[in-house]
Each structure stands twice: as C-alpha cells, then as structure tokens.
C-alpha cells in the first residue's frame, strides 16, 4: 500500500512564477518515503520540504497508530529515497 502526498512549493502563482509541484509517497511495502520530482535539478527547497514532510508524517503516524491500530505501528525507520522519474525538458 502507498500513500501519495502531492506538494506545491510557492503556490499556484507567486510573483509571476508558477510554483513547483512534486509528490511524496509513503511506501509501506518497501518501508520508505519516496520523492518523485520531474525537474532535472532539485528545485530550491524541495529536499528541505521533503525532510519536513517526512518528519511530520512520522510524528503524526506515531500519535495515531495505536488509536487506529495501524500496521506498522512505527515508520521511524523508513528510509528516504529520491526516485528516478522521467524529467521535464526546457524548464
């Protein structure tokens, strides 16, 4: 099972610049967080946001896992991986 968390940095439009979209997934089978980003170079703030999202998800998961009987009960050990995806050209 996977959870997909779509993310936009900078909002739809900020100072005439369109925001940057990417996806963070929680891959329960492979026990990892995955970053899917189609820009060839890391957009400023993408990795920072990825780290922020994963740490917050871990904290929330820990708080609700007993109440909802989630399996696994902890995802603190999940690794963080930037996945290889087709890249955008001319961005």
- Any bridge partners for residue 33, and if so which? 26, 80
Per-residue pLDDT of the chain (91 residues; tens, 9 = 90+): 788 888 877 765 656 666 778 899 999 999 999 998 887 666 667 888 899 999 999 999 888 887 887 777 789 999 999 888 777 765 4
For residue 80, the SS3 value is strand
Rounded CA gap, 33 and 24, in Å?
Answer: 7
């Amino acid at each position: 099972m996977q959870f997909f968390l779509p993310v936009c940095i900078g909002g739809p439009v900020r100072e005439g610049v369109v925001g940057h979209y990417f996806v963070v997934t929680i891959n329960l089978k492979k026990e990892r967080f995955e970053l899917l980003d189609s820009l060839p170079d890391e957009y400023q703030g993408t990795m920072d946001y990825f780290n922020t999202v994963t740490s917050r998800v871990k904290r929330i998961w820990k708080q609700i896992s007993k109440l909802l009987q989630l399996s696994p009960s902890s995802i603190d050990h999940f690794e963080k991986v930037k996945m290889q995806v087709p890249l955008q050209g001319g961005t």
